[in-house]
Amino acid sequence: MPAKTLYCATLASLNGLSDNRNATGISFIFQGGAVEEMQKVLVNEKGMAWITCEKCSHTSGIDVSRLSDRAPFIRYKCVKCDAEFDVACEFRKSYRKEVHLNGVFIQQQPREDYAGRIEILDISKTGVRFKTRVKFDFKPGYLLKLSFSLDDAKKTNINQTVEVKWVNGQLVGGEFRNQDHWTSQQLGFYFMS
């Protein structure tokens, strides 16, 4: 499925070198369109990601510290076999738990026109990734009020405002805003269970 290209650069230009060619053969295409399936890689606190080629299984460590969670998708070219594939870089500040929780959203800003059902796909103490039932025209910076119940013994209800950080089709990544002590505490208990 074609994706909208936002920016293209080689690793050399990301590292501040003047030549756009580099010996590693790694090239990047930051994408903002819909992408079906892609490899997910964690980015550590030093900005390093380890990517394993889907074709030849060669693993390379690359510096993606100049990326951000606002443009977490890259096109990677293997240094060994030249295979190209999409990679989602996850910049985690805290533990993230995969879940399947139903909920609803109401858009708070810039306008209050949208509301709908969502499925929470993963959650951390600082944010969520969720899928909407239909595609909405969300942009980074929009504020949404989410309401959902955890799948713990108490079915704890969470009502939290999130700031949209990235959108990829029906998938949305959001960071909690103005999280109260009770919600933070409940999420902490949830991750320990």
Same domain, 68 and 21: yes
CA distance 162 to 109: 11
Among residues 42, 69, 91, which one ends one of the domains?
91
Same domain, 100 and 76: no
Res 189 pLDDT > 60: yes
Domain count, the chain: 2
Same domain, 188 and 106: yes
For residues 176 and 50, the model is more confident at: 176
Q: Give the model's pLDDT for residue 191.
A: 83
Q: Give the model's pLDDT for residue 71.
A: 61
Same domain, 79 and 101: no
Element (H, E) at 186: helix 181-192
Same domain, 53 and 18: yes
Q: Give the model's pLDDT for residue 69.
A: 58
Same domain, 64 and 105: no
CATH number of residue 109's parent domain? 2.40.10.220
CA distance 139 to 114: 13
Among residues 59, 91, 123, which one ends one of the domains?
91
Q: Give the model's pLDDT for residue 3.
A: 31
> 129-157 pLDDT, tens per residue?
999 999 888 888 899 999 999 999 999 99
Contact between 135 and 172 (Cβ < 8 Å):
no
Work out the mean pLDDT of the chain and round it to a whole number. Answer: 77
Mean pLDDT of 156-175: 91
Same domain, 105 and 81: no
Same domain, 187 and 103: yes
Q: Please state which of the ranges 86-95, 142-151, 174-183 shows the lowest mean pLDDT.
A: 86-95
Same domain, 102 and 185: yes
Same domain, 87 and 102: no
Same domain, 101 and 161: yes
DSSP, residue by residue, 91-142:
E-SS-EEEEEEEEEEEEEES-S--EEEEEEEEEESSEEEEEESS-----TT-
Q: Give the model's pLDDT for residue 150.
A: 95
Among residues 65, 91, 117, which one ends one of the domains?
91
- Predicted TM-score (pTM) of this structure: 0.55
Res 115 pLDDT > 60: yes
Where in the sequence is the domain holding 40, given as residue range(s)?
5-91
> 16-72 pLDDT, tens per residue?
332 222 223 333 344 444 434 677 777 776 777 778 888 888 888 888 877 765 567
Q: Could you give the percent of the chain with pLDDT greater than 90?
A: 35
Same domain, 29 and 100: no
